[in-house]
């Protein structure tokens, strides 16, 4: 699974975005260390704060299936490049401070940024 393919999977997941309120579609594909990929899209709600981002959708799908070790996440929006919001950075940091974040305007222009660079000195309890 290379970064371009993961990005393509994120793009496909973006197609399932339920975002009638913001009209901003986002997709994510989270590559676990065991090689499995969990995709997600943003899912909004009439109760606006109940919305969940694409990245957390993917992460919750994985964790709820017993997978908690991650290597890379690819993220894409309908506008192209997007990076995870602050809540998603914190949410993912819990599981994978060294996560690779793949993002960009298209699969030929991808940037890889470590989650620890997007969330410097991140908060995480010892467990
Ligand atoms: N959104 C994501 O899904 N991921 C991000 O990284 C940025 C924001 C969603 C949340 C909301 O449904 C819409 O994009 C507009 O903020």
Rounded distance from Cα 43 to ligand 1 centre (Å) = 9
Task: Indicate whether residue 24 lines ligand 1 (CB < 6 A).
Answer: yes
Count other C-beta atoms under 10 Å from residue 39's C-beta: 22
Across the beta sheet with 100-104, what order do the strands follow? 37-41, 26-32, 70-77, 100-104, 110-114
Q: How far apart (Å, rounded) are the C-alpha atoms in residues 14 and 116?
A: 25
Residues 6+ apart with CB under 8 A from 126: none
Task: Indicate whether residue 88 lines ligand 1 (CB < 6 A).
Answer: yes
Q: Which of 14, 22, 58, when mutated, tests ligand 1's pocket best, judged by the most ligand atoms within 8 Å of its CB?
A: 22
Q: How far apart (Å, rounded) are the C-alpha atoms in residues 71 and 92?
A: 11
3-state SS class at 37: strand
Q: What atom of ligand 1 comes closest to residue 85's alpha carbon?
A: 6
The pLDDT, as a whole number, for residue 127 is 80
The pLDDT, as a whole number, for residue 126 is 85
The pLDDT, as a whole number, for residue 125 is 94
The pLDDT, as a whole number, for residue 1 is 84
Task: Indicate whether residue 59 lines ligand 1 (CB < 6 A).
Answer: no
The pLDDT, as a whole number, for residue 50 is 98
Point out the residues of the chain with pLDDT beneath 50. none
Task: Indicate whether residue 53 lines ligand 1 (CB < 6 A).
Answer: yes
pTM value?
A: 0.96
- Do residues 58 and 29 lie in contact, with contact meaning Cβ atoms separated by under 8 Å? yes
């Amino acid at each position: 699974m290379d970064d371009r393919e993961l990005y393509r999977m994120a793009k496909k997941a973006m197609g399932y975005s339920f975002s009638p309120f913001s009209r901003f579609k986002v997709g994510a594909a989270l590559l676990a260390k065991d090689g499995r990929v969990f995709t997600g899209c943003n899912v909004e709600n009439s109760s606006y704060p109940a919305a969940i981002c694409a990245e957390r959708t993917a992460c919750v799908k994985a964790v709820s299936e017993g997978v908690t070790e991650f290597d890379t996440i690819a993220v894409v929006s309908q506008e192209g490049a997007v990076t995870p919001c602050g809540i998603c950075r914190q949410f993912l940091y819990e599981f994978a401070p060294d996560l690779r974040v793949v993002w960009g305007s298209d699969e030929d222009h991808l940037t890889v940024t470590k989650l620890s660079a997007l969330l410097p000195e991140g908060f995480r309890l010892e467990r």
